[in-house]
Amino acid sequence: MKNVLTIAGSDSSGGAGIQADLKTFSAHGVFGMSVITAVTAQNTQGVFDVEDISVDIIKKQIDAIFDDIEVDALKIGMVSQIDTIEAIASKLRKYKPANIVLDPVMISKSGYDLLIPEAKGTLIKELLPLSTIVTPNIPEAEVISRMDINSLEEMKKAAMKIYELGARNVLIKGGHREGDTAIDILYNGKDFIDFKSERINTKNTHGTGCTLSSAIASNLARNFNIEDSVLNAKKYITIAIKTSFSLGKGVGPTNHFYTLYKKAGMLDE
């Protein structure tokens, strides 16, 4: 079995963050491990507070994993502070994991800053050059590329700019654009590859970014190439969104285990 590590924040409602990552890993048949960078107080209606884990404990969590267990892929999610980012980057340069998926989490759906504004430059400088693939949505890509994105052509220009900052592959997610079809664009430094999917009419999309990046990491760990890893992850997240469910009073989560539940015959119970 392949081993995949997530370095991210905890979501107390279970739909995003560490909890979504570990569910996604399990759904892909890989063994999930975690380094927690922050504890959030959140539910389907929003993020209400964040308490960052000390840099010392973050470093020790990373050391504890790499000193003992082989890491086949790693996903980075919420890293809110400058010191946290610098510590993670230092450890990754030391241990050199083969596959690093960077999900540059900046703002929650409810508008809460999950990456303090003054740390954005540090994330770009320290973590982008270490990443096998970075997976920003359009607002995040606008921050990283320092340009407005209002068209597919501008998505491609932004991907080129982000690639020049050091990422080996760039996947800009098009979910924030309007239209019946959602288009994500993958750039590998030479070619652009479009991934088209139907736009699903549901409000229950909590944790989609975390889930997609974790699915990509799972596929990379299982030795799929970048393009196939993204394609497989897109198929997974599409089913998870199609079968998402209402939980609480706000934005519900995706259905991480739908395919497994269906195969097990549990959906008819």
CB 186 within 8 A of CB 135: no
Pair 11, 20: CB distance under 8 Å:
yes
Catalytic residue among 37, 132, 135, 205: 205
- Known active-site residue 209: yes
Q: Which of 23, 75, 91, 210 is catalytic?
A: 210
d(CA 35, CA 18): 8
Both structure tokens of 252: 């519900």
Residue 207 catalytic? yes
Active site annotation includes 173: yes
Question: What is the Cα–Cα distance from 236 to 234, expressed in whole angstroms?
Answer: 5
Catalytic residue among 75, 91, 173, 234, which? 173
> Among the options 15, 77, 207, 252, which is catalytic?
207
Concerning whether 205 is annotated as a catalytic residue, the answer is yes
In angstroms, the Cα distances linking 78 to 37, 102, 210, 263 are: 7, 10, 9, 33
Let me know if 210 is a catalytic residue: yes
Point out the catalytic residue in the list 24, 44, 84, 208: 208
Catalytic residue among 209, 211, 252, 254: 209
Active site residues: 173, 205, 207-210
